[in-house]
C-alpha cells in the first residue's frame, strides 16, 4: 500500500508535480514535466491551476509560477513537502473513512454518507478501492466493520496513524493520563527504558489496542498458530502477566490473544532499546523461528563479507535490527510504503553498488522462505524489509571499514619508543578507516607495526604484522596503506 492510494488520480499527479520540482532544484520545463507525467498540456495546465487554488491556504509561503514554458516552485524555509502532502491527505475521503471506522468500529452506510457528504455509490466505490489495497494486510471493510485477523487490523491502524493520518492530531485526540500510567507501569514491570521516541510509538499502539480490546469475536487463528513456538517465551510470559494485571483493574475481559498481539508488536517495532532487547536475547529460545533466522542471516552476512567476527557491539546491534525484520516477516502481512521504493533502490545501487542490493535480495529470499511464505515484489512488506536489509548491510560495511585496529609495538628504549610511536600515530591517523594506538597486549588488533621480527607470532593473535624497515620512511607508509586497503 502506498500513501498515494489514499488520493485521487489528479491529486497524485499534483503531488508528483511538486515532487519533480523539488527533485529538479525548483524549476522544470513544461516539456520535461509533460514527459514525466504523460499527460496533455491542457491537463497539466489544469493541474497547475488546481494546485494554485489549494496552496492559497499557505498564505504565500508556497508559490508556484508557470508561464507555458517553465514551472517554478518556491517555498519558505519552514515548510516542506510533508506539509503539502498533509494538505492533500487531510481532504482525502478514504482517509476519513478509515478514521471514522477506527473511531466507531462499526458504521452504517447512511451514517457515513451523511458524515462525508458523498453519494452512496461513490462511498461504495471508495470502499472497494480501499479494500483492494487492504488486501495485502489480509483485512477488508465489510458490513461496516474492519474484518480480518485482529493483529493485522491493529497493525494496519498503527501504520496508518504513523504515516497517513496526522500523528500529532491523532495523539492530541486521545487524552493521555491513563496511557502514561500504563506505559510507566509497563516500563517498571518489564524493567526496561522507553525512550521518548519509542514512547510515542507505543502510545499510538496502545491507543489503538485499548480502543479494540473489548471487541468480541476477534479473529486470531493465524496468530495462535504462530505463537505456538512462543508459549514458553519469557518475554511473552511477562507481557501476559502485565496484561492480565492491568485489565483486572477494569471490567474488561482479556484472553491470551491480547498478550500475543502485544508480544508481536513489541518485538517487531523499536520499542525496547538495544540493551533491553539484549537482556531478552540472552533468555530467549534460540531454536524458535525468529531467533534461529536471526542466527542464520547473521552468519550468512558474516560469511559473505568474509569477516572473522564482528565487534561485540556491532554484532549485538545487527541482531537487534534482524529481530525487528524477522519478527515483522513472521507475524505481519502488508505494509505502507513510506519511501519511494524504486527510487531508493536505484539510489542505493549507485551508492553501495549492485552487489549489496542483490545480496540483500538473497537474504530476503532465505528469510521469507521459512518465515513468511510470501513472494512477489508487489508485497509492500517485503519491499520495506528489503530496504531494511540493505540499510543494515550498509551500516555493517561502514562500521567494519572504520574499525581497522592498528597497534604500534616498537622494540626500543623507552624515550624513543614513545616519541617515534607518537609520530607514527600522527602520520597514520589521517588514513580513513583506521584506529591507531600504542600496542596493548590485552586488546585485539588487525595490524601490528613493529620494528623487529617477533620472537613468538602467537603473541599477536591473528593480527597481520608489518615490520618497519625504516621508521617514518615513505617506503613503509606506502606498504602500510596497501595493507590497510587489503584488510578493508
Partner 1 sequence: MRVVIIGASFAGVAAAFEVRHIHPDAEIMLLEKQDTLGYIPSGLHLYWDKKISDLDEARFVTEGQLDKHGIVYHLNATVQKVNTTQKIITYDQHDLSDQLSYDKLIIAAGSRQLSEKITGSAQESVLKYKRYDEAQAVLIKVEESEHITIIGGGQVGVEAADLLTTMEKQVTLVESMDYVLFKYLDEDMIKPIEKNMTEKGVDLRMRQTVSSVEMESDQKVTVCLGEGSVTSDAVIMGVNVRPHLPFLDKTIKQHTDQTIAVDRYLRTSVEDVFAVGDCIQLSGPGEDRVYVPLINNAVRTGIVAAANLIEPSRTFKGSLRTIGTRVFGKYIASTGMTEAESLFTDRTVESHRQEVRLTSLADSDTVTLKYVYDAKTHELLGAQMISDANILEKINVLALAIQSKQTLEDLQQTDYFFNPAYSQMTATTNLIAWMDERADEDEN
Residues within the interface to partner 1 (CB under 8 A): 178, 181, 184-185, 188-189, 210-211, 213-214, 216, 231, 237, 240-241, 244-246, 248-256
CB nearer to partner 1: pick between 249 and 455? 249
Asked if residues 116 and 122 have their Cβ atoms less than 8 Å apart, the reply is: no
Burial class (CB in 10 A: 0-12, 13-18, 19+), 268: buried
CB of 189 to partner 1, least distance (A): 5
**Euclidean distance between CA atoms 47 and 158, whole angstroms:** 32
CB of 258 to partner 1, least distance (A): 9
**Euclidean distance between CA atoms 103 and 169, whole angstroms:** 14
CB nearer to partner 1: pick between 61 and 104? 104
CB nearer to partner 1: pick between 255 and 422? 255
CB nearer to partner 1: pick between 188 and 369? 188
CB of 101 to partner 1, least distance (A): 17
The set of cell numbers assigned to 31 is: 516539456
- Cα–Cα distances (Å) from 265 to 159, 329, 330, in that order, read 12, 12, 11
CB nearer to partner 1: pick between 252 and 313? 252
The set of cell numbers assigned to 104 is: 466507531
CB nearer to partner 1: pick between 39 and 182? 182
The residue with cell 513468511 is 372
**Euclidean distance between CA atoms 216 and 140, whole angstroms:** 17
CB nearer to partner 1: pick between 255 and 340? 255
CB nearer to partner 1: pick between 112 and 183? 183
Asked if residues 467 and 461 have their Cβ atoms less than 8 Å apart, the reply is: no
The set of cell numbers assigned to 287 is: 531454536
The set of cell numbers assigned to 207 is: 491507543
CB of 220 to partner 1, least distance (A): 10
CB of 272 to partner 1, least distance (A): 18
CB nearer to partner 1: pick between 205 and 460? 205
The continuous run of DSSP H or E covering 76 comes out as none
CB of 353 to partner 1, least distance (A): 49
CB of 53 to partner 1, least distance (A): 40
- Contacts of 455-463 with C-beta under 8 Å, sequence gap 24+, read 462/308, 463/407
Burial class (CB in 10 A: 0-12, 13-18, 19+), 477: middle
CB nearer to partner 1: pick between 220 and 480? 220
**Euclidean distance between CA atoms 109 and 124, whole angstroms:** 9
CB nearer to partner 1: pick between 178 and 411? 178
- Cα–Cα distances (Å) from 114 to 7, 94, 123, 162, 481, in that order, read 21, 15, 11, 27, 73
List, as one string, the DSSP characters of 95-139: HHHHHHHHHHS---HHHHHHHHT--HHHHHHHHHHHHHHHGGGT-
Asked if residues 436 and 454 have their Cβ atoms less than 8 Å apart, the reply is: no
Q: At what angle do helices 312-331 and 289-304 cross, to 10 degrees?
A: 130
CB of 231 to partner 1, least distance (A): 7
The set of cell numbers assigned to 94 is: 478514504
CB of 104 to partner 1, least distance (A): 12
CB of 211 to partner 1, least distance (A): 7
Pairing between strand 62-66 and 70-75? Answer: antiparallel
CB of 250 to partner 1, least distance (A): 4
The set of cell numbers assigned to 458 is: 602467537
Amino acid at each position: 500500500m502506498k500513501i498515494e492510494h489514499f488520493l485521487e488520480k489528479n491529486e497524485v499527479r499534483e503531488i508528483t508535480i511538486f515532487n519533480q520540482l523539488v527533485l529538479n532544484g525548483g524549476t522544470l520545463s513544461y516539456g520535461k514535466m509533460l514527459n514525466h507525467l504523460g499527460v496533455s498540456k491542457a491537463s497539466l495546465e489544469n493541474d497547475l491551476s488546481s494546485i494554485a487554488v489549494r496552496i492559497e491556504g499557505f498564505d504565500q509561503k508556497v508559490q508556484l509560477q508557470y508561464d507555458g514554458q517553465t514551472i517554478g516552485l518556491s517555498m519558505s524555509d519552514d515548510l516542506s513537502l510533508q506539509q503539502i502532502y498533509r494538505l492533500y491527505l487531510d481532504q482525502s475521503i478514504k482517509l476519513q473513512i478509515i478514521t471514522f471506522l477506527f473511531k466507531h468500529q462499526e458504521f452504517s452506510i447512511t451514517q457515513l454518507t451523511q458524515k462525508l457528504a458523498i453519494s452512496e455509490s461513490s462511498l461504495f466505490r471508495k470502499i472497494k478501492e480501499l479494500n483492494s489495497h487492504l488486501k495485502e494486510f489480509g483485512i477488508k471493510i465489510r458490513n461496516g466493520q474492519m474484518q480480518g485477523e485482529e493483529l493485522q487490523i491493529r497493525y494496519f491502524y498503527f501504520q496508518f496513524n504513523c504515516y497517513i493520518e496526522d500523528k500529532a492530531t491523532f495523539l492530541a485526540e486521545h487524552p493521555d493520563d491513563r496511557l502514561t500510567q500504563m506505559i510507566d507501569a509497563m516500563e517498571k514491570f518489564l524493567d526496561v527504558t522507553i525512550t521518548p521516541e519509542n514512547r510515542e510509538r507505543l502510545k499510538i499502539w496502545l491507543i489503538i489496542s485499548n480502543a479494540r480490546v473489548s471487541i468480541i469475536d476477534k479473529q486470531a487463528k493465524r496468530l495462535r498458530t504462530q505463537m505456538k513456538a512462543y508459549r514458553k517465551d519469557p518475554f511473552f510470559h511477562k507481557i501476559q502477566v502485565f496484561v492480565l494485571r492491568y485489565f483486572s483493574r477494569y471490567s474488561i475481559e482479556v484472553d491470551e490473544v491480547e498478550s500475543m498481539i502485544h508480544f508481536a508488536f513489541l518485538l517487531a517495532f523499536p520499542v525496547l532499546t538495544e540493551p533491553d532487547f539484549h537482556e531478552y536475547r540472552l533468555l530467549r529460545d534460540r531454536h524458535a523461528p525468529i531467533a534461529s533466522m536471526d542466527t542464520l542471516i547473521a552468519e550468512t552476512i558474516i560469511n559473505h563479507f568474509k569477516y572473522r567476527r564482528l565487534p561485540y557491539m556491532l554484532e549485538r546491534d545487527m541482531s537487534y535490527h534482524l529481530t525487528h525484520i524477522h519478527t515483522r516477516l513472521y507475524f505481519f502481512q502488508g505494509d505502507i510504503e513510506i519511501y519511494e521504493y524504486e527510487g531508493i533502490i536505484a539510489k542505493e545501487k549507485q551508492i553501495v553498488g549492485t552487489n549489496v542490493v542483490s545480496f540483500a535480495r538473497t537474504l530476503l529470499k532465505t528469510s521469507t522462505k521459512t518465515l513468511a511464505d510470501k513472494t512477489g515484489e508487489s508485497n509492500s512488506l517485503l519491499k520495506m524489509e528489503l530496504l531494511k536489509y540493505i540499510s543494515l548491510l550498509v551500516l555493517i560495511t561502514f562500521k567494519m571499514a572504520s574499525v581497522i585496529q592498528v597497534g604500534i609495538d616498537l622494540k626500543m628504549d623507552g624515550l624513543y619508543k614513545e616519541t617515534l610511536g607518537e609520530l607514527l600515530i600522527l602520520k597514520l591517523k589521517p588514513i580513513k578507516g583506521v584506529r591507531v594506538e600504542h600496542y596493548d597486549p590485552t586488546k585485539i588488533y588487525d595490524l601490528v607495526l613493529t620494528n623487529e621480527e617477533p620472537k613468538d607470532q602467537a603473541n599477536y593473535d591473528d593480527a597481520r604484522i608489518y615490520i618497519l624497515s625504516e621508521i617514518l620512511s615513505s617506503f613503509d607508509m606506502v606498504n602500510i596503506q596497501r595493507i590497510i586497503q587489503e584488510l578493508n
